[in-house]
Chains A and B, each alone.
Chain A
């Protein structure tokens, strides 16, 4: 408290944003943000994907200039910051992508920035290797990583992801930070590492350092405590001690509508069998048989090594099955490749949409029509762009994309919108069967809601859907039946309307020999 009173004399706040506006081309990303951060306090910046959270932290760290507004930092008023100004003022950021340099060593990633900032960004300076090691070792010890020479000299691209996340945090606390911003810092951490991180945060706060979290994990926010700051559509809609809000209230503030854990499933499946799978065998899947009716949504779950991923890839030709038969619409089909699967009318929304599904630097338009380009082309191979745009516009409308600009690069969209573009692409070929693999991984509450509604509308139109997911509430809310896989076999089939998460968990974790009986 003494320290706080002391800083209060110099300047009331650590950092103050005044009426910050930000435009990206035609997109109004921030609509007048006022935010005051006090030393030693923890803040949780909450909001849906695309609400402006990332933009606001980029403005604080100097990565983007605001279009208008003021930033008050250490008693000085700025219209925009450079990365060096921001770092020199003690604002450290742990980016969601971690922003580690993959080709440099752990020590350099952690401690090189201290020397860069001390040199005020000038590069014609000697670099102090001894000091680099010392600073790095101190910071690594604070986050619970090893500090021996071998680890300090490890190239970052050789580290597992969880260690990378801790290395990024170590960099943020390596110098005399006054504000540490953490953008989804716990996504790849285990429980123990999260506990360790929370201890680090407590220590930082006791040293009068402010911490700003950007996260979707509300449980962790409550554990850490502090202030909630809720963003929606580029505006700050609520601010206050986090314990004053319930989870439900926060979700409503973020989305602007009331979201209940309702069951989305509306229509009933038909009695006509669409897909019949007989003794399908592939690497990790040992002879599974099941069927999907027209208009049915079938859930498939299991642990990561249960064979559910391999099953999805076999059904869609990504990794063709080694044995067994598939019958679609009473015809025996073989899907040796994704192209064959598409011809047969089987669509696949992969789990890793960034790596497997989307062309990030291409426009929404180009992504949406990727599957039907050959159909849009005339006999000379010239693509009818106008017709393509028409189709892309209709799909975007159906998927309720939050932009009308079809020329925007998909990489510029938020995760939820990217997923909608990907699903929209599949609608363009109107598949008979659509396999969705983890469709809401990394997607916020509001986008989830939209995606669920689209899934239901597709089933209603008579399409068969297979939803492979480890999000159990998602399966219970959206499907007719749920198959649980365990060690390459289907060990349980449950009616989604009656099943509970508990039952699913038990089947997933059961020792296989027990369940076979």
Chain B
């Protein structure tokens, strides 16, 4: 609880500064996320200096990749006023199908092609979501609940339920491929895997699409008010198809990385973690009603959740407490955002 106190201190630093701080939080809500993250890291580091070892940071980086990719997809859909809960099913579907395909039929497929195919497969499933959302005119939450069951049901009924423990070699190799390695104090070799790079690249691409292309502006326009956006000439169909396709592609990519990193393919994996990802995006300052948020905030939200999940143990807080902490942070941050918005 040390953590939240530090946050409060930062928040109420003198009456002269409080206005500009409030204004900052209102315009850039991810400031709160950042402060929470700093507060947690500081207090954990004080309680247990081992936290600052490079190995911990690398662990955090490694653990952020899959969740970060998911979160970017959720964020871009949230920015357009929708919501997606089928991305984990898309990821599970593509990763398991690709693994089965490579293992049984195309053992020599190069890893680049595998990743590309998984990404495209994810995009295809995402486009199904997008078309359904657009043509059924049903809220995306309902559509993606439906497709989550559909994709997962199809996977388990027709593709398989067997836990694949030994991956095709090129996939395992990709999971182990190092970006760099360092030797820790006790002589063990710690690796930041090459696949970590995917997250900053995906974040950069997402940022670029949202801020530098007409599509990005159209996404926020639709998130602001879909009726008005369509009246102004934005094609809702194009936006919906792109959005869900893009999020699906990220999910497919996340799925294949998840398999390679864990060196096993479990068809029952991933599904069930949606709320965790959505929590990260909302903690990053994106409003659940759409139209707001930033890529930076999303990444900070992911880091916050990953840090809570992986380092609270280091200061002796039982892992069962993680949910309590995440829950209180979400409420705390939400209360902060809301009061700031009302105060104008």
Contacts and interface: CB of A to CB of B under 8 A. Distances in A.
Interface string B224-254: 1100111111110011001000000000000
Contacts of B82: none
Contact of B213 (A63, A103, A124, A158): A124
A102 B225 contact: yes
Nearest to B293: A103
Contacts of B231: 61, 63, 83, 95, 99
B214 A87 contact: no
A326 interface: no
A123 interface: yes
Given A125-B213, A125-B214, A126-B212, A102 B291 contact: yes
B232 A116 contact: yes
Contacts of A100: 228
Nearest to B239: A123
Interface in A427-470: none
B217 A108 contact: yes
A121 B232 CA distance: 10
Interface in A120-139: 121-127
B126 interface: no
Counting chain A residues whose Cβ lies within 8 A of the other chain, the interface size class is 20 to 34
Given A116-B214, A125-B214, A158-B344, A101 B229 contact: yes
Contact of A127 (B216, B234, B235, B239): B216
A82 B235 CA distance: 10
A122 B242 CA distance: 12
B69 to A, nearest CB: 22
Nearest to A88: B233
A117 interface: yes
Contacts, number: 79
B218 A123 contact: yes
Interface string A61-84: 101000000000000000000111
A83 B235 CA distance: 10
B238 A123 contact: yes
Nearest to A85: B233
Given A101-B225, A101-B229, A123 B234 contact: yes
Interface centre among B223, B234, B344 (most CB of A within 10 A): B234
A288 interface: no
B314 interface: no
Interface string A90-110: 000001010111111000100
Contacts of B96: none
Interface residues of B, number: 27
Chain B interface helix/strand/loop/mixed? helix
Contacts of B215: 123-125
A117 B235 CA distance: 12
A101 B214 contact: no
> Which 6 pairs of residues, A with B, have the shortest CB-CB distance?
A103-B291, A101-B224, A103-B224, A123-B215, A83-B233, A84-B233
B25 interface: no
B195 interface: no
Contacts of B221: 101, 104, 112
B129 interface: no
Contacts of B218: 116, 123
Interface string B44-60: 00000000000000000
A155 B344 CA distance: 12
A103 B292 contact: yes
B234 to A, nearest CB: 7
A104 B214 contact: no
A283 to B, nearest CB: 20
A112 B213 contact: no
A69 to B, nearest CB: 21
B234 A99 contact: no
B87 interface: no
A119 B217 CA distance: 13
A115 interface: yes
Interface string A197-221: 0000000000000000000000000
B235 A121 contact: yes
A123 B344 contact: no
Identify the interface centre among B230, B232, B238: most chain A CB within 10 Å of its CB.
Answer: B232
B233 A117 contact: yes
A122 B233 CA distance: 10
Contacts of A99: 228, 231-232
A117 B232 CA distance: 9
Contacts of B216: 127
B337 interface: no
B233 A121 contact: yes
A325 interface: no
Contact of B214 (A82, A97, A102, A115): A115
Contacts of A363: none
B214 A119 contact: yes
B233 A113 contact: yes
A362 to B, nearest CB: 19
B130 to A, nearest CB: 14
5 contacts: A61-B231, A83-B231, A102-B225, A121-B233, A122-B214
B93 interface: no
B220 interface: yes
B18 to A, nearest CB: 19
A83 B231 CA distance: 6
B344 A116 contact: no
Contacts of B238: 123
Contact of B224 (A61, A104, A124): A104
Nearest to A116: B233
A103 B223 contact: yes
Nearest to A63: B231
B212 A123 contact: no
Contacts of B220: 101, 103-104
B214 A127 contact: yes
A87 B233 contact: yes
A102 B223 CA distance: 10
A83 B233 CA distance: 5
A123 to B, nearest CB: 4
Contacts of A101: 220-221, 224-225, 228-229, 232, 291
Contact of B232 (A83, A102, A103, A122): A83
A102 B213 contact: no
Given A83-B232, A84-B233, A99-B232, A123 B213 contact: yes
A78 to B, nearest CB: 16
Given A99-B231, A116-B232, A127 B213 contact: yes
Contacts of A123: 213-215, 218, 234-235, 238-239, 242
Contacts of B229: 101
A95 to B, nearest CB: 7
B138 to A, nearest CB: 16
Nearest to A156: B224
A160 to B, nearest CB: 11
A95 B215 CA distance: 24
Contacts of A102: 224-225, 291
A123 B242 CA distance: 10
Interface in A15-30: none
A42 B80 CA distance: 38
Nearest to B235: A121
Contacts of B232: 83, 87, 99, 101, 113, 116
A30 B330 CA distance: 52
Contacts of B239: 123
Contacts of B217: 104, 108, 112, 127
Contacts of A124: 213-215
Contacts of B223: 103
Contact of A83 (B214, B224, B230, B291): B230
Contacts of A122: 214
A104 B232 CA distance: 14
Contacts of A119: 214
